[in-house]
């Protein structure tokens, strides 16, 4: 069993979950994070959804991933005495042609798998939603990312696990000891990491709004119809998200704001007011799969990245895999292992 000191670079969904898993196993942890600056995790909607994408995909791993989320987040809520993990009913309108085709093809399988709480042909929320497409309801969850990450940060800081500054690649030898392992959980910033920058990142910027709807009758379910409208409580809702591959600056834009406002105006039959506009850069690997494990030439340097827009869902289970690897020496599932890019990293 390992007795290393673990240096975690980044305190988004990946770094936070990994820090908790290591601490829960009695390991020594030090986190470097520059006040969540430009963090996509803080801006994240934290949605955990069993059916996603234009083709209404359902992963065979979802049950295992969701079970890990339930255990992990509920335990942390008790430890931190803070509520941030919520069950979530999701109403999906099959608006686009690809979604309609997928729905026609997959709805029987979804019903047999017990994924659906109901289906509809007529709009069940026509007093608030202007959409006449067929669809379904399912059940997932949401993580209030800001509450979760800030509560974890406060704990890490109070227990001397957090250094609030950037990690300096040039000075890496000053961080190293004979037993230290450095695990980079930097999100999109990994594209500048000297050891992992050659991974095939196709990062995408996402912009979100927080809006206020001044009616108590609006459905307290996530509405998904080209954009999502996620209830936060107190008549506040998070709305998203855009996808932008060219402008990867972290600041929100008027273009993104206008796109979301226009879609909202067309979707909602009730008045709303924008109260916040945020942006983040999703860390995406070309094969759409997270990447975990040690650099092939530097075994004390590891990466946990590529969670894209599913950090809330992936991080509890995958952080366990990283822990099993560094502490017990268990192999990482080849699907997620950084070894699939060994040629790229050693070229």
Q: How does pLDDT run across 130-183, given as a tens digit for each residue?
A: 999 999 999 999 999 999 999 999 999 999 999 999 999 999 988 877 678 999
Q: How far apart are CA 145 and CA 143, in angstroms?
A: 5
Percent of the chain with pLDDT strictly greater than 90: 90
pLDDT for 41-97, tens place per residue?
888 999 999 999 999 999 989 999 999 999 999 999 999 999 999 999 999 999 999
Residue 185 in contact with residue 323, Cβ under 8 Å? no
Q: How far apart are CA 278 and CA 209, in angstroms?
A: 6
pLDDT of 283 strictly over 90: yes
Q: Can you give the pLDDT at residue 347? A: 65
pLDDT of 1 strictly over 50: no
The pTM is what? 0.95
Tokens representing residue 3 in the block: 């007795």
pLDDT of 340 strictly over 90: yes
Confidence of residue 2 (pLDDT cuts 50, 70, 90): very low
pLDDT for 201-254, tens place per residue?
999 999 999 999 999 999 999 999 999 999 999 999 999 999 999 999 999 999
pLDDT for 96-109, tens place per residue?
999 999 999 999 99
Percent of the chain with pLDDT strictly greater than 70: 98
pLDDT of 309 strictly over 90: yes
List, in sequence order, every residue forming a beta bridge with 239; answer none if it has no partner.
209, 229
The stretch 301-305 carries a mean pLDDT of: 98
SS3 of residue 326 by DSSP: helix
Q: How far apart are CA 15 and CA 336, in angstroms?
A: 16
Identify the weakest region by mean pLDDT among 29-33, 172-176, 313-317, 333-337.
Answer: 172-176
Q: Which domains does the chain have, with CATH numbers?
A: 5-45+146-199+287-346 (3.50.50.60), 86-140+203-282 (3.30.9.10)
Q: Exposure string (b/e) for 291-316, b if CB count within 10 Å is 16 or more?
A: bbbbbeeeebbbbbbbbbbbbbbbbb
Question: How many Å is the Cα radius of gyration of the chain?
Answer: 21
């Amino acid at each position: 069993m390992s007795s290393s000191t673990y240096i975690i670079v980044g305190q988004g969904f990946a770094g936070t979950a990994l820090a908790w898993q290591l601490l829960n196993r009695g390991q020594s942890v030090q986190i470097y994070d520059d006040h969540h600056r430009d963090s996509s995790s803080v801006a994240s909607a934290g949605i955990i959804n069993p059916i996603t994408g234009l083709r209404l995909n359902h992963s065979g791993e979802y049950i295992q991933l969701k079970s890990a989320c339930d255990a992990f987040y509920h335990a942390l809520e008790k430890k931190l005495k803070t509520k941030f993990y919520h069950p979530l009913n999701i109403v999906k309108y099959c608006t686009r042609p690809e979604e309609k085709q997928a729905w026609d093809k997959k709805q029987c399988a979804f019903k047999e798998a017990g994924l659906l709480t109901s289906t509809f042909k007529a709009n069940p929320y026509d007093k608030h939603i202007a959409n006449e497409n067929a669809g379904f309801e399912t059940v997932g969850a949401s993580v209030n990312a800001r509450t979760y990450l800030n509560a974890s940060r406060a704990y890490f800081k109070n227990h001397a696990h957090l250094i609030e500054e950037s990690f300096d690649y040039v000075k890496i030898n000053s961080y190293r000891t004979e037993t230290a392992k450095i695990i980079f959980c930097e999100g999109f910033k990994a594209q500048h990491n000297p050891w992992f920058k050659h991974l095939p990142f196709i990062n995408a910027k996402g912009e979100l709004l927080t809006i206020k709807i001044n009616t108590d009758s609006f459905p307290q379910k996530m509405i998904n119809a080209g954009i999502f409208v996620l209830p936060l409580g107190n008549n506040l809702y998070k709305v998203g998200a855009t996808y932008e591959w060219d402008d990867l600056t972290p600041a929100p834009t008027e273009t993104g704001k206008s796109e979301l406002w226009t879609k909202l105006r067309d979707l909602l039959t009730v008045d709303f007011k924008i109260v916040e506009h945020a942006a983040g850069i999703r860390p995406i690997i070309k094969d759409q799969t997270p990447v975990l494990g040690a650099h092939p030439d530097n075994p004390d340097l590891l990466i946990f990245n590529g969670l894209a827009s599913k950090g809330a869902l992936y991080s509890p289970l995958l952080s366990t895999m990283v822990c099993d690897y560094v502490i017990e020496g268990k192999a990482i599932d080849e699907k997620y292992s950084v070894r699939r890019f060994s040629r790229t990293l050693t070229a």
